[in-house]
Amino acid sequence: MLRVLAVDDEPPALDELVRLLRADPRIERVSGAADPAEALRGLGRMLAGDDRLDAVFLDVRMPGLDGLDFTRLLSGFAAPPAVVFVTAHEDGAVAAFDLGAVDYLLKPVRPERLAEAVRRVERTVRRAAEAAPAPDEVIPVELGGRTRMVSRSAVTHVEAHGDYVRLHTVGEKAGYLVRIPLSALARRWEGAGFIRIHRSTLVASAHIEELRFDSGRASVRVGGAELPVSRRHTRQVRDLLVRGFRSDPR
């Protein structure tokens, strides 16, 4: 569900845009601002509260800071929202798309045309989420009365031990026992590049050094250890690694 901001200095136009956006089932929340300065203050409050903004729908020509200048300011954010221009002026389209606008709508806005713009925003937000690296996770591990914090990015592979798993990390041989089933950890870490190579083994694809085939059996070399890949998982592991290699810009 999307969270969006509508910006227009004409109250009737702003009210109508907010109404149309709220009618779209893909939008969770719509905020309105009467000018870019007010929008920036609202955006600052959102960032301070660790909130998110997926898209801004705004006019081009407004007093003071216009829509194009506002968009240039947004580009300085670490994760800028998608921008859709909603305006009565046709002559700003080229500049808008040069700034990376997702869409450019002319007033009066038709509901079906706005729905298409929301679809483009949804696609842009989804692609950005898929491209963003998964944030690292820190796992607290109990060691004889002490708690050690282990970074997920340091984990090379994980082995099942009943209701526990053993985390193997870079430069460590013994590993760390954590009480969580391997199946649950596999679901939790799938988006971070961990892949199942065996019913009892999970590996970090970023740490795989080599994929071997010997007499029909597959194995991977991870962190200096050679780990068997079950027949059930061989094709999936091979396809994932080959796909990753082809998409590597190096």
Q: Within its chain, how far is the Cα of 110 from the centroid?
A: 31
CA distance 216 to 227: 15
What are the average pLDDT values for consecutive 10-residue runs of the chain, which has 250 residues? 94 95 95 88 69 91 86 80 94 92 95 96 88 77 82 93 91 85 89 89 90 85 88 80 49
pLDDT of residue 47: 62
Q: What is the β-pairing status of strands 176-178 and 82-87? A: unpaired
Alpha carbon of residue 142 to chain centroid: 31
d(CA 181, CA 159): 10
d(CA 226, CA 212) in angstroms, rounded, equals 9
User: What's the confidence (pLDDT) of residue 49?
Assistant: 61
Please name the helix (run of DSSP H) or strand (run of DSSP E) that holds residue 111, with its range, or none.
Answer: helix 111-131
Report cis status (omega within 30 of 0) of the bond before 249: no
Q: What's the pLDDT score for residue 97?
A: 94
Give the Cβ contact number of residue 138 at 10 Å. Answer: 11
Residue 247, pLDDT score? 44
Q: Copy the structure tokens of residue 46.
A: 């959102």
Between the two ends of the chain, the Cα-to-Cα distance in Å is 35
3-state secondary structure of 21: helix
Strand partners, 106: 87
| Whole-number Å distance between alpha carbons of 73 and 67 | 10
b/e burial code for range 110-136 (CB count within 10 A of at least 16 → b): eeeebeebbeebbebbeeeeeeeeeee
Residues 84-107 as b/e (b if ≥16 CB within 10 A, e otherwise) read: bbbbeeeebeeebeebebbbbbee
Q: What is the DSSP string of 193-235?
A: TEEEEETTEEEEGGGEEEEEEETTEEEEEETTEEEEE-HHHHH
CA angle 12, 14, 19 (to 5 degrees): 95
Q: List the one residue out of 199, 206, 170 whose CA is nearest residue 182.
A: 199
**Tokens at residue 160, please?**
């099942």
This model's pTM is above 0.75: no
Q: Which amino acid is at 241?
A: L
Check residue 182 and give its pLDDT: 93
